[in-house]
Amino acid sequence: MGESDFKVDTEVLRNAGARLRDVVESLQGAKDDAASLAGHVGHAGLAGRVRDFADSWQSRRQEMLETIGSLGEVSENVGIAFEEWDSELARAVSADPEHAGGAR
């Protein structure tokens, strides 16, 4: 049987989770940003449209925040799980005298 390598870059998974949390934090303030922008557009009709958009977008944005947050959590948890699995596997192999010398 040929040798195969199974590699998972857990740091990438954990960093992706952290970055997705950053995205969630940024999007959480988006309504406030749009409302602030509405006061600076210089036209009452356009300002009203900006406010309407910010209000109607709130529901969709909340769904996205939940999805992105879940994806970030899963990404981090997968990285952690692989690290734990790798540690357990290393302990099991080193505790088994048959496999300690790298026998296959």
What string of pLDDT tens digits covers the 104 residues of the chain? 556 688 889 999 999 999 999 999 888 877 667 777 888 888 899 989 988 887 787 778 888 899 999 999 999 999 999 999 999 988 988 876 665 555 54
Q: Which pLDDT belongs to residue 99? A: 54
The whole-model pTM stands at 0.63
Q: Which pLDDT belongs to residue 74? A: 96
What's the 3-state SS for the chain?
CCCCCCCCCHHHHHHHHHHHHHHHHHHHCHHHHHHHHHCCCCCHHHHHHHHHHHHHHHHHHHHHHHHHHHHHHHHHHHHHHHHHHHHHHHHHHHHCHHHHCCCC
